[in-house]
Amino acid sequence: MVNVGDKKITKRIAIAKAEMFLGAAIISVFNNNDLITKKGPVFQTAIIAGIQAVKKTSELIPMCHPLIINGVEINIDILNDTEIEIICKVEIDGKTGVEMEALTGVSTAALTVYDMCKSISQKMIIKEIKLLEKTGGKSDIKN
Residues catalogued as catalytic:
115
Among 24, 48, 18, CA closest to 120? 24
Distance (Å, rounded) from C-alpha 69 to C-alpha 118?
Answer: 32
